[in-house]
Amino acid sequence: MDLTFTPTELAFRDELRTWLRDHDPGPAPDGEDADFAWRRRFQEELAAGGWAGVHWPEDVGGRGATLTESAIFFEELARAGAPLPANVLGLVLAGPTIMSWGTDAQRERLLPAILDASEIWCQGFSEPSSGSDLASLRTRAVRDGDGWRITGQKVWTSFAQHARWCMLLARTDQDAPKHRGITYFLLDMEQDGVDVVPLRQITGESEFNELFLGGAWVPDDMVLGPVGAGWRVALTTLMNERAGLGFFLQARLRQDVDELAARIAQRGLLDDPAVAERLGELHRRTEVIRLTAYRGLSRTERDGEPGPEGSLTKWLWSETNQELTQFAVDVLGPTALDASDPWAHRLLRARGNTIEGGTTEVLRDIVSGRVLGLPKAR
């Protein structure tokens, strides 16, 4: 694995740095809706500048960047203090899945509006009784005319309140083995039979929702991939999820570690051996995560698709971010728990890190079996 950027990659990075300097989105505004609108405006600007779909092929409006350039893109975004684009689920999950499995008509209809954030996407996978064991999902789709009628409930559906489209998994064959009876639908959220109910999180925000489906309809031409092949299509989405965001997350982690180190230094606490040891350990882990993310990238470049290493990055990142936020409030004291201090929000939001996008226990299973090749315990 060669970690030196080529002249082309360095030129890409410098062009992007200049663009980000000229298009500084400024600080995040207060309030959830204002924050989402801010991220949406930022994505519109990215799209206008040709930066929204960096890793998308040029014939679908992307920049055709290599995987390394795409990693540089997310690292630079985090380094510049820019937000993740509002339609991140569309750019990283839905778009690549539609490119892999979609018809020409689906690509033409759906991809452009992902890029400029004019149509936001959400991911309707998890259900009240199906999270880690996703294939046990019970939302049903039955034939109705030239389409499917959907009944059931999804939960933890992030950004559903803003979404025009949903990547929806539903069971179309009750008798087939559980992984084979699932179909992947592209659900139009703007119809009767789709109810979005916000869930309040520990941060006080309502980033995610319950999604009730009471007879919503999806036409045949909005089924993604073959009927009954939804599990395979969903794996494309999940692999992209873990691989795609890793670089942004590890770069933001680096920024947060550095910011905390500066605050600790300001208070003259760097000479305290206990503080220095914990900070040093966080620094080391952050560097390991960066290198692990690059190792996954090399493997993806070799094999053509993301491998199980994304699970390792996500697991290490989530635990390190929780440790970092806990350490910050331990060392900075009560001021870090003031609602106006960003560490208060970071501490509370980090609780979900070891659950969202696959729980740590499940990721450990994947890493032990598929990365390390260890035998199953039972």
**Minimum distance from residue 76 beta carbon to ligand FAD (Å):** 25
Cα radius of gyration (the chain): 21
Q: Which region among 39-47, 124-132, 140-148, 336-344 touches ligand FAD (by CB under 6 A)?
A: 124-132
Residue from 58, 241, 323, 356 carrying the catalytic annotation: 241
Total residues binding ligand FAD (CB under 6 A): 18
Task: Check binding of 356 to ligand FAD (CB under 6 A).
Answer: yes
Quick check: 318 binds ligand FAD (CB under 6 A)? Answer: no
Nearer to ligand FAD, 12 or 156 (CB): 156
Which residue, 356, 317, 372, 313, is CA-closest to 132? 356
356, 354, 300: which is closest to 323 by C-alpha?
Answer: 354
Among 25, 81, 219, 352, binds ligand FAD (CB under 6 A): 352
Judged by CB under 6 A, does residue 368 bind ligand FAD?
no
- What are the counts of helices (DSSP H) followed by strands (DSSP E) for the chain? 11, 8
Between 45 and 256, CB nearer to ligand FAD: 256
Of the candidate residues 38, 56, 125, 148, the single one contacting ligand FAD (CB under 6 A): 125
| One-letter amino acid for residue 100 of the chain | S
Rule CB under 6 A: say whether 123 interacts with ligand FAD: yes
Q: Which residue is closest to ligand FAD by CB?
A: 131
Considering only residues 361, 369, 372, 374, which one is a binding residue for ligand FAD as defined by CB under 6 A? 361
Q: Nearest CA to 123 among 172, 78, 152, 87?
A: 87
241 has catalytic annotation:
yes
Q: Are strands 121-124 and 165-171 parallel, antiparallel or unpaired?
A: parallel
Give the residue, chosen from 261, 288, 355, 371, that forms a contact with ligand FAD under the rule CB under 6 A.
Answer: 355
CA pair distance 68, 350, nearest whole angstrom = 27
Closer of 80 and 89 to ligand FAD (Cβ): 89
Residue 251: its H or E element: helix 230-266
Q: Please report the DSSP string for 16-63 in residue order.
A: HHHHHHHT---SPPSSHHHHHHHHHHHHHHHHHTT-TTTTS-GGGTS-
Contact map string, positions 199 to 228, toward ligand FAD, x by CB under 6 A: ---------x--------------------
Task: Figure out which of the listed residues 131, 147, 198, 228 binds ligand FAD, where binding follows CB under 6 A.
Answer: 131
Whether the Cβ atoms of residue 137 and residue 130 lie closer than 8 Å to each other: yes
Nearer to ligand FAD, 61 or 131 (CB): 131
On whether the CB atoms of residues 121 and 89 are closer than 8 A, the answer is yes
List own/partner pairs for 264-267 with CB under 8 A and 24 or more apart. 264/331, 264/332, 267/332
Minimum CB separation of residue 186 from ligand FAD in Å reads 15
Amino acid code (one letter) for 277:
E
Active site residues: 241
For ligand FAD, the binding residues (CB under 6 A) are 122-123, 125-126, 131-132, 156-158, 208, 352, 355-356, 358-359, 361-362, 365
